[in-house]
Amino acid sequence: MEISKMTRLISLVKEKKPLIHHMTNVVTINDCANVTLAIGASPVMATEIKEVEDMIQLADALIINLGTIHDVVFESMLHAGIAANKKGIPVILDPVGVGATSYRTERSMELLEKVKMAIIRGNSSEIHTLIGGTGGTKGVDAGEGSVPSIEIAQQAANAFQCVIGISGKVDVVSNGSKNYFLSNGDERLTRITGTGCMSTSLIGSFSGVTSDYLGAAITGMSIMSLSGERATKHLATDGGIGTYKIKLMDEIYRMNEEVFAKEVKIHEC
């Protein structure tokens, strides 16, 4: 993966301002909207089943995030996903908490059967659950699994024929044949809610301007990790996670080609 391909995406999203339709959870929905705006794209968040197909006609990508799913919104997600496939725009899945309850696991399986995903991003136990593993998701946080993320990512990429992103201390992205480690980041990213969901919103934003979904996933996840790293530099000694979250959003907003090219740490493996 050449850096120039990714820096090009950073400019392209600001030029094209793709419309990213989010069907997401009510915990981090505001953060998802703001991060989408921060990177230069445009968010919309409709869930009524009677309008999702119309909204898909305007959208450049669809994000489905299972964070607070219930039966009513799940039906709408299915509808939207099928419409997105039909139109040919990418669908990005964030299987929040899958593995924690059988309801979540079953709904995600149903979704994967009926909707073709372009990219799936989650933590290792969520993605492991999708390929039949028992990763021990603890609520919405990753359990400690024994299978390396790289193996999980590659298997899942092959199983669902899509790009897989696994967030962790080191992020992993795979399209089944090529695998990448992304090693920017900061521990504080796990101490605020929504950094995973926001990472998915960034991926979705980039996937709205390219058919190179591998590049979109790497760029989106790297920007979140790199911004999380850079945010610590602006944190005064009295700073806690309140300030950290604000500085993180600032860094995402200010991310540009030069900083990205200079500081991003991506390794093919």
Binding site for a second copy (CB under 8 A): 19, 21, 25-31, 33-34, 37-38, 42-48, 50-51, 54-55, 58-59, 67-72, 97, 100-104, 138-141, 191-194, 234, 238-243, 245-254
- The amino acid that residue 240 corresponds to is G
Q: In the complex with a second copy, which residue's Cβ is closer, 175 or 184?
A: 184
- Residue 7: CB minimum distance to a second copy, A: 19
Dihedral angle over CA of 185, 191, 193, 197, nearest 10: 20
The CA-atom distances, in angstroms, between 66 and each of 24, 74, 98, 140, 201 are 7, 8, 8, 10, 13
3-state secondary structure of 119: strand
Q: Residue 227 is encoded by which pair of tokens?
A: 């911004």
- Residue 70: CB minimum distance to a second copy, A: 4
Q: Is 82 exposed, middle or buried (0-12, 13-18, 19+ CB in 10 A)?
A: middle
The CA-atom distances, in angstroms, between 234 and each of 37, 220, 244 are 22, 22, 8
Q: In the complex with a second copy, which residue's Cβ is closer, 162 or 249?
A: 249
Confirm or deny that 177 is annotated as ligand binding. no
Confirm or deny that 121 is annotated as ligand binding. yes
- Residue 231: CB minimum distance to a second copy, A: 9
Q: How many CB atoms lie within 10 A of CB 229?
A: 20
Q: In the complex with a second copy, which residue's Cβ is closer, 94 or 212?
A: 94
Q: In the complex with a second copy, which residue's Cβ is closer, 38 or 119?
A: 38
- Residue 204: CB minimum distance to a second copy, A: 13
* Binding-site residue ranges for substrate: 45, 194
* Binding-site residue ranges for ATP: 121, 167
